[in-house]
Amino acid sequence: MENFVAYNPTKLHFGKDVLNDLGNTVEPYGKKVLLIYGRGSIKRNGIYQKVISQLKSIQATVFEYSGIRPNPVIEDVDAAAELGRKHQVDLVLAVGGGSVIDSAKIISITIPVQTSGWDFYNGTIKPKTAISLITVLTLAATGSEMNPFAVVQNNSTKEKLGWGNDLLYPRHSFLDPQNTFSVPKDYTAYGIADLMAHCLEAYFGEGEAPLSDRFVYAIMKEAIIYGPPLLDDLENYSLRANIMYAATAALNKLTMYGRVSGDWGVHSAGHVLSLLYDIPHGASLSIIYPAWLKLQRERIPERITTLGKNIFGVNNPDDTIKSFESFFHRIDCPISLSAFGIGADKKEDIMKVMIHNNVTGNHHKLTREDYSRLIDLFI
Amino acid sequence: MENFVAYNPTKLHFGKDVLNDLGNTVEPYGKKVLLIYGRGSIKRNGIYQKVISQLKSIQATVFEYSGIRPNPVIEDVDAAAELGRKHQVDLVLAVGGGSVIDSAKIISITIPVQTSGWDFYNGTIKPKTAISLITVLTLAATGSEMNPFAVVQNNSTKEKLGWGNDLLYPRHSFLDPQNTFSVPKDYTAYGIADLMAHCLEAYFGEGEAPLSDRFVYAIMKEAIIYGPPLLDDLENYSLRANIMYAATAALNKLTMYGRVSGDWGVHSAGHVLSLLYDIPHGASLSIIYPAWLKLQRERIPERITTLGKNIFGVNNPDDTIKSFESFFHRIDCPISLSAFGIGADKKEDIMKVMIHNNVTGNHHKLTREDYSRLIDLFI
């Protein structure tokens, strides 16, 4: 086991009607709130109204920035930060899924500086302080609600990058499974694929960490057992709750303690598909993971088999890979880019952007030959 | 799943030579340190010298209170708090196992008040503030290093009670598996029994929490796999590390999220044995748990079987109970009070103190008839 620091200061409020505590929780941080959300679904499902009513109950002044896209872009981050700077807000309140929360994290460190949030990604500057961040999660998927990571896309440089810093931990996150009832079937499934992929990135990282491996199995089994029935019963509180907590646990560092690093090669490749074709993040992962496992089939057969044994009860790498494919099939997640109408003629385009983004894993490095084989396996 | 708040602010520094960061970590909290430790083993194994050298490096002034007993008593807490109050210390530094850390937690909230720490246990007063607490763990067992709980004994009232409050979280805890190399075989085994019992108290608590159940299996499997070989190889870093992290994870609330409560009936009964006969805490648990499982055998056979399936690969309650007995046997932990030379003639004494301490579980309530059957099963 490698040395590690276990630390996660986010306070997670999980369960039915936890939003009733939002006003009281916000109040100690101040009354000028920068509210960040997406493209309006929270107004249709009533979450927006609940949040506003909580903020009104403490006489907060609310500045809104909406329109955050599913693959969030740095232009929105910078514009929202400008709004927050202008009004000298006391805290950032993010209401949405991973895109909204990731954006809000970068907004919270960009407000105190006079530059673009992208400068944190390209390493030009380092954050010294952050505006306090509170989140209300409406989609179980990325785990952003309880971790210090954020992924943002820069269309002008054709980059989509992940980055982490302890200043990015939300102070509080509110997770009411009821707030995910209206997430449609496809995005519910993408969220499940995303949480599975987070477990896999940890598991295929570097270093021996047996308890973290067992936590990976624990979380993945939740997804395997409760994911498929949830897709037929989208307003089932218990199933929503199980998946929501599993998604948080899949990326709150619990699966990482004792490892050198996670791998993140599949995420790195998945970001390229989202960048090029605006493919939902979770779908990019269900497309690439089986292909990546096939690519690694001869290199790490035992590691793949151990995983298969523990989560699917199978005994060899091929059955493990098949089990992943049939699981993704059961939850209607694509395992080929063709599901989005994209064919082999795009291989060169994808290669180019993979090279430009230096797509690779931290542990399992990917060569250009690997890019080519990988694309052949998922296109 | 029940509503829950997931929150744990302790920063855990885990791994080889992490004590090298102790001085730098202490410094921001102040220079007047109340150092709490046990009966001197840290002087023999060199940990004391390392701690003092780190404190000297930041020119700290150190006030020492030593002699904390394995089943810690309130008199020591009060005397140490008096010392800290007199010298207006900035922080409490606990170096030891669960007894030392539990004592230090109560010391840290007793310093700011003009009364006995026992008043927190009997509910006379509530803590409003705490002196910052940093811990250096030397025994893998209680999980106290990353939780807000503390157990203290009061010999004058013949009570041994557990109690929790968010103010009791250590700010930092330093866990170097090397610092447990000199723990003798018996106490290493008691620590393993203790971590197993913590998992069981969570598992047999109230409420359905499937992911927390799976975390229980994950942690118990670590103990089952790495515990026995460790007892034959006490200075094996990797085995010490696996058990040390498992013990922390067994009681840092991870196994509890989504439950109404843990059970804690066996701990409650175990405290009586420690109180009466000074039996090591872990040994009291290995003695009582198999008996408790037999008591519950007809009441919750499925729950017992599900556990057995997941951690021992057996298929019925009796084999589950037998597996626990043979596991405790393999690690030389007693499963009967006779191991300490205590026989059936003491049954009435034990009954009396169980009644006086209101021994019971939160979920599986224990009647006086249960006391009698339970004692018959372990005496």
Q: What does the H/E/C string look like for chain A?
A: CCCEEEEEEEEEEECCCHHHHHHHHHHHHCCEEEEEECCCHHHHCCHHHHHHHHHHHCCCEEEEECCCCCCCEHHHHHHHHHHHHHCCCCEEEEEECHHHHHHHHHHHHHCCCCCCCHHHHCCCCCCCCCCEEEEEECCCCCCHHHCCEEEEEECCCCEEEEEECHHHCCCEEEECHHHHCCCCHHHHHHHHHHHHHHHHHHHCCECCCHHHHHHHHHHHHHHHHHHHHHHCCCCCHHHHHHHHHHHHHCCCCCCCCCCCECCCHHHHHHHHHHHHHCCCHHHHHHHHHHHHHHHHCCCCHHHHHHHHHHHHCCCCHHHHHHHHHHHHHHCCCCCCHHHHCCCHHHHHHHHHHHHHCCCCCCCCCCCHHHHHHHHHHHC
Q: What is the domain extent for residue A19? A: 11-180
Determine which of A245, A257, A260 to mutate to test the interface with B (most B C-beta atoms within 10 Å): A245
B156 in the same domain as B33 = yes
A330 in the same domain as A235 = yes
Tell the burial category of A241 from Cβ atoms under 10 Å away from its Cβ (0-12, 13-18, 19+): buried
Kindly determine whether residue A210 and residue B217, on different chains, have CB atoms separated by under 8 Å: no
Residue B2 lies inside a defined structural domain of this protein: no
A84 in the same domain as A149 = yes
Kindly determine whether residue B245 and residue A258, on different chains, have CB atoms separated by under 8 Å: yes
Last residue of a domain, one of B154, B180, B206: B180
The predicted-structure confidence for B60-82, as pLDDT tens digits, reads as follows 999 999 999 988 999 999 999 99
The reported pLDDT for the residue numbered B158 is 87
Crossing angle for the helix pair A210-231 and A237-249, nearest 10 degrees?
Answer: 150
The minimum CA-CA distance between B267 and chain A, rounded to whole Å, is: 25
The overall longest dimension of chain A from CA atoms, in Å, is 61
Interface ipTM: 0.96
CATH number at residue B86: 3.40.50.1970
A→B interface, C-beta within 8 Å: 1-16, 18, 146, 210-211, 214-215, 217-219, 221-222, 225-226, 238, 241-242, 245-246, 248-249, 254, 257-258
DSSP code for B241? H
Residue A363 lies inside a defined structural domain of this protein: yes
Determine which of A214, A215, A255, A260 to mutate to test the interface with B (most B C-beta atoms within 10 Å): A214
Nearest to B134 by CA among B231, B232, B27, B240: B27
Residue B253 lies inside a defined structural domain of this protein: yes
CATH number at residue A353: 1.20.1090.10
Per-residue tokens: B325: 């007995």
Kindly determine whether residue B3 and residue A11, on different chains, have CB atoms separated by under 8 Å: no
Residue A5 lies inside a defined structural domain of this protein: no
Kindly determine whether residue B242 and residue A3, on different chains, have CB atoms separated by under 8 Å: no
Residue A25 lies inside a defined structural domain of this protein: yes
Q: What is the mean pLDDT of residues A87-101?
A: 97
* Angstrom distance (rounded) from CA A161 to CA A150: 8
Nearest to B103 by CA among B140, B142, B45: B142
Reply yes or no on whether the pLDDT at A71 is more than 90: no
Q: How confident is the model at residue A4 (pLDDT cuts 50, 70, 90)?
A: very high
How many domains is chain A built from?
Answer: 2
For chain A, the average pLDDT equals: 97
Q: How confident is the model at residue A362 (pLDDT cuts 50, 70, 90)?
A: very high
The predicted-structure confidence for A211-264, as pLDDT tens digits, reads as follows 999 999 999 999 999 999 999 999 999 999 999 999 999 999 999 999 999 999
Q: Give, in order, the Cα–Cα distances in Å from B83 to each of A217, B171, B371.
A: 48, 21, 41
B298 in the same domain as B251 = yes
* Angstrom distance (rounded) from CA A184 to CA B128: 46
Kindly determine whether residue B1 and residue A249, on different chains, have CB atoms separated by under 8 Å: no
* Angstrom distance (rounded) from CA A83 to CA A106: 14
Residue B51 lies inside a defined structural domain of this protein: yes
The predicted-structure confidence for A30-66, as pLDDT tens digits, reads as follows 999 999 999 999 999 999 999 999 999 999 999 999 9
B196 in the same domain as B118 = no
Q: Give, in order, the Cα–Cα distances in Å from A74 to each of A121, A152, A269, B140.
A: 10, 6, 20, 46
Per-residue tokens: B217: 């299996």
Reply yes or no on whether the pLDDT at A341 is more than 90: yes
Last residue of a domain, one of B180, B203, B233: B180
* Angstrom distance (rounded) from CA B361 to CA A376: 59
Determine which of A21, A211, A254, A309 to mutate to test the interface with B (most B C-beta atoms within 10 Å): A211
The predicted-structure confidence for A306-338, as pLDDT tens digits, reads as follows 999 999 999 999 999 999 999 999 999 999 999
A235 in the same domain as A121 = no
Per-residue tokens: B227: 């515990």
Q: Are B283 and B378 in contact (CB under 8 A)?
A: no
Helix, strand, or coil (residue B122): coil
A374 in the same domain as A242 = yes
Q: Are A168 and A109 in contact (CB under 8 A)?
A: yes
* Angstrom distance (rounded) from CA B265 to CA B112: 32
* Angstrom distance (rounded) from CA A179 to CA A235: 10
Q: How confident is the model at residue A160 (pLDDT cuts 50, 70, 90)?
A: confident
* Angstrom distance (rounded) from CA A106 to CA A319: 41
Last residue of a domain, one of A159, A180, A201: A180
Residue B4 lies inside a defined structural domain of this protein: no
Q: Which of A179-183, A366-370, B156-160 has the lowest mean pLDDT?
A: B156-160
A292 in the same domain as A229 = yes
* Angstrom distance (rounded) from CA A81 to CA A92: 10
Pairing of strands A4-14, A172-175: parallel
A193 in the same domain as A97 = no
Cα Rg of chain A (Å, integer): 20
B109 in the same domain as B60 = yes
Residue B43 lies inside a defined structural domain of this protein: yes
Helix, strand, or coil (residue B69): coil
For residue B9, which residues of chain A lie inside 8 Å, CB to CB? 9
B217 in the same domain as B169 = no
| Continuous segment of H or E residues that includes residue B6 | strand B4-14
The predicted-structure confidence for A199-216, as pLDDT tens digits, reads as follows 999 999 999 999 999 999
The minimum CA-CA distance between B222 and chain A, rounded to whole Å, is: 7
Tell me which residue in B15, B218, B242 faces A2 most closely, judged by beta carbons: B15
Q: Are A94 and A133 in contact (CB under 8 A)?
A: yes
Which segments in chain B show pLDDT lower than 70? none
* Number of CB pairs, chain A paired with chain B, less than 8 A apart: 99
B190 in the same domain as B120 = no
Cite the beta strand spans of A213-296 per DSSP E. Answer: none
